[in-house]
Structure 1
Amino acid sequence: MRTEDGLTICVPSSVVREAEDDREATRKLGYVARAAAVFRADRLVVFPDREGERRRGGEYVRTVLGYAATPPGLRKDLWGERGELRYAGVLPPLRVPWRTGSTPSGEESKTQGLVTEVGPEGRVRVNSPLREHPISLLVPSGMEVEPGERVTIRASSREPVRARITGKP
């Protein structure tokens, strides 16, 4: 459904009910994630379909789709090791906006980061694909963040890093 806020795709929690095993279920969810990326969906909503659910329910679907939508550099920090993600290696790569790099024309690029530490004076440490180690960024006024939250970052330069937090994904 397309609204003024963007494209939202609704997925039933029973989408993987016909999958024979977790590997096939993860593969099917990878197809859903890839289609959402191709059509530039802004949101994927998993709605309950209890009649169709079998062994894998809505939480399994949300976990695998959430993992697929997470930038590769943040997956380990954000998701850790979970049984539902045992076959995450079969998920296709997604080409979504958070993976854009710095452009040759000097335009800003957008990425996501994971807040690891909230410090004094409105500063936070953020893990992001921009650097191997966390970077210190200023939180915009009026925005509250906590450790473990994802934030959207706009970078104007990678070396040296010049970036700012612009919001939450």
Structure 2
Amino acid sequence: MGQTDTWTISCRNCSTSSDLDDMPPNLWVAIPDSALSDEQTKRDKSVKTAQFARACSIFRVKRIYIYHDPLSQFEKEDPVLLRTILRFLDTPQYLRRILYPKMNQLEFAGILHPIKAPHHRPPQDIKTVRAGDVRVGVIVKVKGQLFVEAGLGALVPFAGEGFEGKKVNVKFTSPHPNLKAVEATESDISEYWGYEVKEVPSVLKLLQSVDKTPTTTTIVTSRKGSFFKNNEVRLTERIKNAENVLVIFGAPKHGVHEIAAREGMSSMKAEFVINMFPGQATETVRLEEAVLGTLAILNATILSKN
């Protein structure tokens, strides 16, 4: 997926209404930039970020929003560490040395569990690539010509536009020895192909943007919400007509209600405000636990569209 920091709420590209009827909605999550504030060491912060990456990949999350939390105190480096490791783990191994030179944020990358999602294909003999195959690559410029590095042991001519160092999904249009690549479209990719990470200035602006997109269903997780079981029927019906499902999580020390109130929202205007863990026996549910548990609960509801 791309790594830009722009954050518009958009519909799917190149899809007709009949196509969308047969597709599960895009699943998006939003977590605060203070997500790592309850961890003391860089090692623990790195491991926690990897838990977010794994949970999102298990349940096919396509977009992770990182919103600013104005209430919590956290280290200045935390948001950088969070987005860097999330993007690093989503990147196939054969591209990591190209896209991520040695950097401070990746000090503990070696101990993090890999995602092993479908787009993390192993290195492949270039002679075995077939027309129509799709891989993640990086654009490389050699003597003014564009090529793509895609873990094949050799560069492949790239027919398209782009800049050197751009991460891109490519489709091969002809087999070896005349292998050529073009940028892949959504219709070329039938498997889960990872997530993109976008930063937003506030949860309020994120909610306001969603309000302008009626095809996006928003779920705010909160202890102040109603039980999931009481919302399941209505949520299932809403998801049947949704292109996107956005799940917003609070911070380790502050809920979404408190954060939104600080930003000027007098009442929560999200379509669904749900308590995903009624009757919890622990004083708190940690953010990484909330993400994994919530996505697991929602999984059957989202898949029921199909």
The TM tier, using the shorter chain, reads 0.7 to 0.9
Trace 1:11-160 onto structure 2 (pairs within 5 A).
Answer: 11-55=31-75, 56-100=77-121, 108-117=132-141, 124-129=146-151, 131-139=152-160, 144-155=161-172, 160=177
The 1:35–1:46 alpha-carbon spacing in structure 2 relative to 1, beyond 3 Å, is: same
Q: Deviations over 1:63-104 (max 9, x none)?
A: 1111111111111111101101100112211122312478xx
> When the two structures are aligned, how many residues end up with a matched partner?
158
The 1:18–1:134 alpha-carbon spacing in structure 2 relative to 1, beyond 3 Å, is: same
Q: Deviations over 1:141-164 (max 9, x none)?
A: xxx311111110124787557452
**Letter matched to residue 39 of structure 1:** F
Distance of 2:45 and 2:84 partners within structure 1: 12
The 1:151–1:125 alpha-carbon spacing in structure 2 relative to 1, beyond 3 Å, is: same
TM-score (norm 1): 0.78
Distance of 1:53 and 1:70 partners within structure 2: 30
Deviation at 1:41, TM superposition (A): 1.2
Structure with the higher strand share, 1 or 2? 1
**Letter matched to residue 117 of structure 1:** K
- Aligned residue for 2:54, secondary structure, equals helix
TM-score (norm 2): 0.46
Structure whose alpha-carbon radius of gyration is higher: 2
CA RMSD, Structure 1 to Structure 2 (Å): 2.9
**Letter matched to residue 167 of structure 2:** R
- Aligned residue for 1:44, secondary structure, equals strand
Structure number with greater CO (CA < 8 Å, separation at least 6) is 2
Structure with the higher helix share, 1 or 2? 2
Of all paired residues, the percent bearing the same amino acid is: 22
The 1:155–1:96 alpha-carbon spacing in structure 2 relative to 1, beyond 3 Å, is: farther
The 1:69–1:117 alpha-carbon spacing in structure 2 relative to 1, beyond 3 Å, is: same
Ranges in structure 2 where 5+ consecutive residues have no aligned partner? 1-9, 13-25, 125-129, 186-195, 197-306
Distance of 1:137 and 1:11 partners within structure 2: 36
Ranges in structure 1 where 5+ consecutive residues have no aligned partner? none
Residue aligning to 1:10: 30
Q: Which runs of 4+ in 1 moved over 6 A?
A: none
**Letter matched to residue 63 of structure 2:** R
The 1:163–1:136 alpha-carbon spacing in structure 2 relative to 1, beyond 3 Å, is: closer
